[in-house]
Amino acid sequence: MIAGDLPLAGLRVVEFSHMVMGPSAGMILGDLGADVIKVEPWPGGDKTRQLPGAGAGFFPVFNRNKRSLAVDLKSPGGIALVRRLLATADVLTENFRTGALDDLGLGHAALSVDNPGLIYCSLKGFLAGPYETRTALDEVVQMMGGLAYMTGPPGRPLRAGSSVNDIMGGMFAVIGILAALAERARSGRGRHVRSALFENNLLLVAQHMAQSVITGRPAPPMPVRVSAWGVYDVFDSADGGQVFVGIVSDGQWQTFCRRFGRPDLAADPDLATNPGRVAGRARMMPALKALFGAMTRAEILAACEAAGLPFAPINRPEDLYDDPQVRAPGALVEVTLPDGRPLGVPALPLEMDGERLGLRLDVPKVGEHSRAIAREAGYSDAEIEALVRNGAIGPA
């Protein structure tokens, strides 16, 4: 797709955000064609750029298709530039501490006076309630919201292996923004949209909350749950690999028994139905473990695919670069790391008219577009050079 054909082409978004939640919302809007201007502090830029370890992938993954404006918001020139920019913006997104932008005169109420159509989106830890002003992180809400309890074995709460609330929180922010844009087309008025980590986490564990009420028993952690399916497990292969296999219908059970040469299991009346297989796991599972344990991982995967059964190799993140589905055209977009190396990162999990949404702008350098953005805001070249000289914006 060329930029003009993208659904959000012509929409201007000004992003005040760091870490994952806010940037993920901006990335989605940018991938869909919006002009996303990432406001970074000058001179250091977004501190997420320098995160080590598990945070090393945050910035390159969630900041493509954006332009960088590096600005000192404590300087008169810097704040004046940002206010001029926001006067014509469609959307503002922010995930800083509560009140941070208000202190700069950039709160929703103040900006709506000059730009009543502005959609102001705040991505926070909590929505309205007793915890509204608490500081939160993805891991904090996973622990307090029951997700860590459900993920780890009993007595060992374990966070999910990704920033699930941050990313989903960004997605819900985008849903709210798109809804507000649709309303603005009718009313001309903007909205203050809020998305939050904790309430997002509640939705993730809602099925387990409901389960406890419906069954009258506490929902056990996933590693010790009573499965809804008789076969829904990870099996070891003869060559040291692991494969997940799920059999979720009686027809799949018969197909499995035929494909894997176990007519005795197919003929067992106690295993003919899914409830029977759930009840008979104690005697069924040793037979299945022995069956899979005599096959290589490749043999298990090939047999399951030929049978049309749900299956999956147990992969590590680095293995995915060799996965045929990930290597399909459009599945990855290539961005550039600060040291010049190319990095493939997943495209949005969407197709539009059969096409994936790709890369229009590489991950920006700090302040890479400051001059151009100031010029678009109506500043002359002389005024821009004065801003740079005074340290109000970055010189890039």
Q: Among candidates 262, 248, 251, which has minimal Cα distance to 291?
A: 262
Say if 239 falls within a structural domain. yes
- Do residues 163 and 20 share a domain? yes
Q: State residue 126 phi and psi, 5-degree precision.
A: -140, 150
Helices (H), the chain: 21-31, 58-62, 76-86, 108-114, 138-144, 147-151, 164-187, 197-215, 250-259, 263-267, 274-279, 281-293, 297-307, 370-376, 381-389
Summarize pLDDT for 216-244 with one digit per residue, the tens.
999 999 999 988 999 999 999 999 999 99
Say if 242 falls within a structural domain. yes
Q: What is the pLDDT of residue 226?
A: 85
**Residues recorded for the chain:** 396
Q: How many domains does the chain have?
A: 2
Which residues belong to the active site? 166
Domain of residue 240, residue span:
227-316
> Does an H or E element contain 294, and which?
none
- Do residues 137 and 64 share a domain? yes
Distance (Å, rounded) from C-alpha 69 to C-alpha 40?
6
Question: In angstroms, how far is CA 117 from the centroid of its own chain?
Answer: 27
Q: What is the pLDDT of residue 63?
A: 98
Say if 322 falls within a structural domain. no
Q: Judging by beta carbons within 10 Å of its beta carbon (0-12, 13-18, 19+), is residue 10 exposed, middle or buried?
A: exposed
- Residue 275 token pair: 């409830």
- Do residues 18 and 126 share a domain? yes
SS3 content of the chain, % helix, strand, coil (to 5): 45, 15, 40
- Do residues 114 and 44 share a domain? yes
Show contacts of 12-15: CB within 8 Å, 24+ apart.
Answer: 12/37, 12/88, 12/89, 12/90, 12/91, 13/37, 13/89, 13/90, 13/91, 13/92, 13/93, 14/39, 14/82, 14/85, 14/86, 14/89, 14/91, 14/92, 14/93, 15/39, 15/66, 15/92, 15/93, 15/94
Q: Is 60 helix (H, G, I), strand (E, B) or coil?
A: helix
Residues of the chain with pLDDT under 50: none
Q: State residue 15 phi and psi, 5-degree precision.
A: -110, 125
- Do residues 199 and 310 share a domain? no
Q: What is the pLDDT of residue 3?
A: 53
- Do residues 312 and 336 share a domain? no
* Residues 90 and 119 sit within 8 Å (Cβ to Cβ): yes
- Do residues 109 and 133 share a domain? yes
